[in-house]
Amino acid sequence: MAQTRPEAPSSPGAEEIFHKILVVMDPTRRKVRRDVENQVDWVEVDLESELVDKIFQSNGCRQFVYPSSGDDVPAGHSRVWIHEFVSLNGLTALKLAFIMKIKQIKQVLVVYRWLEHPKIRLVPDVFEWEGFRDMIIGKSQYNMEQLGEQYCCLVGGAELGLSLEYVFLFYKRFGWLDEFSRNGAYGLSAKDQELYLKNIRILNKQMMIWPSPEEQLSTRKKTNLVARLDQIAKTVTRTLRPRTDIVTMEDLSLPLSTPTNPKVLKRECSDCCNHVLMPDAVQKLTKGKIRAMLNQTSWKWMLQDYVEHLRKIGEWRVYLLNGKALHTICTTYTKGEWAFEYAYAFWPLNEMR
């Protein structure tokens, strides 16, 4: 069993302690070279050439980093396009291949905040998703017990806030709804997904996993989140909230949305705005399409009051890590689709009005 909180060396001259962590890249974030520029989750940076060589030698980083060029690249460095999973996570421990001190990355790997002794080091193994997936669902000779013995922490893996299986039928039948658009990259059937979720929780008892599986899974139930936000608005902030109703076939009254009473339709366990229908689309839904939507998965669909300001101004999401804001994303609805970008400044309230 991997030791999760190792003893620090007894004296300043003691031998360094090394701990191996497993880094698994999410395959849904892979991109081909021509698609990486102007993407909010990709950055162009100059890195030490020796580090870049190590990154390119790692199969786990395939399609997460590409070479770039420029006349102003510092000596001893190489310019690359790199995905934020690698760059924002302190090169997610890829820089740890240089055996960096923990305190230089403690703000990123929260699970290791307590590891601040200068003699303790983390050493990463970067896995491709496919190999890791087969271990977890039992299609590999290398099993979970061996993972738990060899590594003390897992960083990454599948995005558990989403439904992981890939469904073709619904997309082919109703092209207006891009169902599970990204999740074919996981290569998981519905049965495989159940096994993956079961076994990743078992693995979490043997090693630390970041982000936490339980925390990720809790984000799937958006109806619970809405209920909590409604309660906060009622008892704490005393502010208005859009009304939310669960869609069922009982007492279904069409159209669900009208020009005088516009509504949006959202689904639990949604995937990057692909399960949000705006009022015009909601108004056109037939009973047959709604029945197909409800029968396709066990996730609930929610009918919510349309908020015009949200469409015009956008939704701001602030990402916090260890009590500090990393960055803010503004999601806006433009030309019939949702788009997101980094927010560096905001409108004052009088301009919003």
- Return the pLDDT at 113: 33
Q: Are 210 and 155 in contact (CB under 8 A)?
A: yes
- Return the pLDDT at 139: 77
Q: In a structure prediction context, what are the per-residue pLDDT tens digits for the chain, which is 353 residues long?
A: 333 333 434 444 556 667 788 888 888 888 888 888 877 678 888 888 887 887 788 777 888 889 998 889 999 999 988 887 665 443 444 343 333 333 333 333 333 333 344 555 667 778 889 989 998 998 776 677 788 888 888 888 888 887 776 544 444 344 434 444 456 788 888 788 889 999 999 999 888 888 889 988 888 888 998 999 999 999 999 999 999 999 999 989 999 999 999 999 998 887 666 688 889 999 999 999 899 888 877 889 999 999 988 877 788 888 777 777 777 888 887 777 777 777 776 666 666 55
Do residue 279 and residue 158 come from a single domain?
no
Do residue 294 and residue 269 come from a single domain?
yes
Do residue 56 and residue 202 come from a single domain?
yes
Domain boundary residue among 218, 240, 257? 218
Do residue 207 and residue 245 come from a single domain?
no
Q: How many CB atoms lie within 10 A of CB 61?
A: 22
Residue 348 Rama label (left phi>0; alpha psi -120 to 50; beta): beta
Which residue type sits at 123? V
Has residue 1 been placed in a domain? no
Do residue 113 and residue 196 come from a single domain?
yes
- Return the pLDDT at 101: 34
pTM above 0.85, yes or no: no
Give Cβ neighbours of residue 268 (< 8 Å, ≥ 6 apart).
220, 221, 222, 223, 299, 300, 301, 302
Has residue 316 been placed in a domain? no
Has residue 335 been placed in a domain? no
Helix, strand, coil percent values for the chain (each to nearest 5):
35, 25, 45
Backbone angles phi, psi at 214, to 5 degrees: -65, -40
Domain count, the chain: 2
Cis omega (within 30 of 0) on the bond before 67? no
Do residue 64 and residue 50 come from a single domain?
yes
Do residue 205 and residue 243 come from a single domain?
no
Do residue 245 and residue 148 come from a single domain?
no
CA distances to 28, 162, 183, 267, 269 from 272, rounded to whole Å, are 12, 9, 11, 11, 10
- Return the pLDDT at 115: 39
Do residue 213 and residue 98 come from a single domain?
yes
Has residue 350 been placed in a domain? no
